Amino acid sequence: MLNKLYIFIALFLLCPFAVAQTTQPSGPLPPGHSHDDGHDHSHHHSHHHDLMQPVVPIEDGFADRVNLSAIQRISVQHNQTLKTFDTYARDVLFVITGKTKFEGRSAAYAILDMSLRPELYSNRNIIYLRNKPFREEFQQLSFLEQAQRDRIQQEGTISLTFWLDERVQGAMQKVGSASMAKADAMRTINFQAGTLAEVLNYPNGSSTLGSIAIIAPTDAASANAKPWKTLPTAAQELVSTTQPSDATYLSSINSSAGAMISVSEAWRSRDAGATEKAFDALSLAVLSVNPSLYPSETKRGFELFYNRMFRLTLPGAILYFVGFVLFLLAWKTNLNWFYRAALGFTLAGLVVHTLGIGIRWWLVSKSVGNWFESIPIKNQFESVLMSTFFGVIVALFLERWKRVGIFGAAAAFVGWLSLIAIFAAPYVAGIDIGGQIKQNAGILMTYWLYIHVTLVTASYALIGMTFIMGVWYVVQYLYNRETGLLKILDDCNLVMLQLAFWILGIGIITGALWADVSWGRPWGWDPKETFSLITWMVYLVIIHVRHITAGHRRGIITGVLSVIAFFVMLFNWIGVNFFLVGLHSYA
């Protein structure tokens, strides 16, 4: 009885979250609306100068003193996937700000501070406007001073309270109704605002971690088989039930509630020692809810390592790049030492690349509870990762067979370019390409998925290698027509072209079989289907043009067409996803 009384007291302290979850929709906020709790919140947007003058936290050194390792390792269920709080924080912060750090602080610290001191963030300009042309639409807000409108256009950031202001919403709804592109930009901002509102529990502003699902189910067959609960929800269910509660579960929820309150109090008082003790208590308490289902310390530790090592993309890219440079030096100097070093660095890059795939596969399988559905080849990040992996293996096999240096150089170049691209894309373009750990749509999960995507992405890697060989041939042809090297380049390019052509063709056929299983039709002229066929036909043309071209022109024409065709493939693989709407937009 005393335990239930303590939980009731804790629930009272956490009650804004409990009330929010029973009366408010979760997820993105609809345009023109904030979560309505029955009170007048018009003071949030009564004057435009309030919207543009945020309260900035005073730097007190707390961030440098507090150790977050315990809370970073706590498991969270987010977007139907189990992940550490560290991964959750990175994902959420990127959605809101387009970055994985905030003002030089880790994502974990930023999300904790937003959750535990929400009053400091609802009026801060931290929502990043990814669509730069859409920023110009804020110039029409006449109630803002011109300097404020210019700041939005130049910096591209707004606050939650600003976005939810009735005047802003009214103006933006008119803008969104003018075109689909602008409506899509508004949906993105609404999703960002909804994500931030959930972290802040806006407008209630409860200073806890009550919006995060950290309580494991007690009756599930696997860790991710059933939804996890937020602590306020679990506490509320215990208080409201008339059935006898399991003593162990009751004690765990009781301990978790007490620890969460301690976390809030210690964090807000900026007491680093007390905060760390509260983190330790919370991590032990949530683990005790169902230890048999809770992800292991090993799994959570590897996930933190995977995050901190940039998902092993940057280390692998560095090794591949060094290998590529050494292959070029070996070709230029004809020194065997450079060749052996180049091969060694490229193989080291492949080992790191393989390790990245293996860790990701293992982490996802532990999160979703199924190794088959966890094969990392289901989105843009994973398809590039696996495409390069298969391509590098094929090229290194050919290099081992022919020992000409060209296949090895092509493998190292494509490995470097691909890994650096998926590492940089979120930072440079501000787009999510699927780097976070998550599940895929159930309708897509058949063995045809892996057959089709593996074949197609492997062909794309080979096409990437025909690109570098084509460029190499053209440069060599223009500046130094050494017949022997040109013939070797042309022969190597032809091998890759033929392999890419046949593998892509088989991949398209298996894609039709997959589409028939998943969507009920083998072919529907979806943009991705159409441009895949166009890409295949381009390479069909290259191979046939080669056969009807005689003399020295054969090699240079093949080289030039290889370069042009690469960009056709690139638009099919990447461009279609961002510029055209279709069933393949997820990858």
* Collapsed DSSP state (helix, strand, coil) of residue 498: helix
Percent helix / strand / coil, the chain, rounded to 5: 70, 5, 25
pLDDT digits (tens, 9 = 90+) for 190-208: 999 999 999 998 887 677 7
pLDDT of residue 23: 35
- Mean pLDDT across 387-397: 94
Q: Is the confidence at residue 518, as pLDDT, over 90?
A: no
Give the residue with greater pLDDT, 83 vs 238.
83
Q: Which residues contact 262 (CB under 8 A, 6 or more apart)?
A: 274, 277, 278, 281, 282
Q: Measuring CA to CA, which residue among 577, 558, 445 is closest to residue 500?
A: 558
- Mean pLDDT across 400-426: 93
306 pLDDT tier (thresholds 50, 70, 90): very high
Report the C-alpha gap between 392 and 407 in whole angstroms: 9
Q: Tokens 């979850």 sit at which residue?
A: 21
Q: Is the confidence at residue 20, as pLDDT, over 60?
A: no
- Mean pLDDT across 130-136: 91
pLDDT of residue 41: 39
pLDDT digits (tens, 9 = 90+) for 550-572: 777 899 999 999 999 999 999 98
Give the residue with greater pLDDT, 520 vs 213.
213
Task: Report the 3 state secondary structure along 225-288.
Answer: CCCCEEHHHHHHHHHHCCCCCCHHHHHHHHHHHHHHHHHHHHHHCCCHHHHHHHHHHHHHHHHC
Give the residue with greater pLDDT, 279 vs 375.
279
pLDDT digits (tens, 9 = 90+) for 89-101: 999 999 999 988 9
Burial of 388 (0-12, 13-18, 19+ CB in 10 A): buried
Strands 127-128 and 157-158: antiparallel
Q: Which residues contact 221 (CB under 8 A, 6 or more apart)?
A: none
Category of 453 on φ-ψ map: left (φ > 0), alpha (ψ -120 to 50) or beta: alpha
Q: Which of 34-48, 217-231, 296-310, 472-486 has the lowest mean pLDDT?
A: 34-48
- Look over the chain and give the mean of its residue pLDDT values, rounded to a whole number: 85
Q: Which of 147-161, 270-284, 524-538 has the lowest mean pLDDT?
A: 524-538
Q: Is the confidence at residue 21, as pLDDT, over 50?
A: no
Report the C-alpha gap between 161 and 52 in whole angstroms: 9
- Mean pLDDT across 66-77: 95
Q: For residue 78, what are the β-bridge partners?
A: 81
Q: Is the confidence at residue 37, as pLDDT, over 60?
A: no
Give the residue with greater pLDDT, 192 vs 10.
192
pTM > 0.75: yes
Give the residue with greater pLDDT, 58 vs 178.
178
CB atoms within 10 A of CB 3: 16
Report the C-alpha gap between 210 and 134 in whole angstroms: 34
Q: Which of 350-359, 409-418, 436-445 has the lowest mean pLDDT?
A: 436-445
Inter-residue contact 288 to 387 (CB < 8 Å): no
pLDDT digits (tens, 9 = 90+) for 321-341: 999 999 999 988 989 999 999
10 pLDDT tier (thresholds 50, 70, 90): low
- Side chain identity, residue 49: H
* Collapsed DSSP state (helix, strand, coil) of residue 368: helix
Q: Tokens 């806890």 sit at which residue?
A: 208
447 pLDDT tier (thresholds 50, 70, 90): confident
Q: Measuring CA to CA, which residue among 204, 201, 174 is closest to residue 186?
A: 174
pLDDT of residue 169: 93
Inter-residue contact 61 to 50 (CB < 8 Å): no
110 pLDDT tier (thresholds 50, 70, 90): very high
481 pLDDT tier (thresholds 50, 70, 90): confident
Q: Is the confidence at residue 28, as pLDDT, over 60?
A: no
Share of the chain above pLDDT 70, in %: 85
Q: Measuring CA to CA, which residue among 460, 461, 437, 457 is closest to residue 449?
A: 457
pLDDT of residue 440: 60
Q: Is the confidence at residue 73, as pLDDT, over 60?
A: yes
pLDDT of residue 269: 95
pLDDT of residue 292: 87
pLDDT of residue 42: 39
Q: Measuring CA to CA, which residue among 582, 558, 578 is closest to residue 570?
A: 578
364 pLDDT tier (thresholds 50, 70, 90): confident
Reading the block at residue 557, the tokens are 């024409």
Report the C-alpha gap between 80 and 27 in whole angstroms: 13
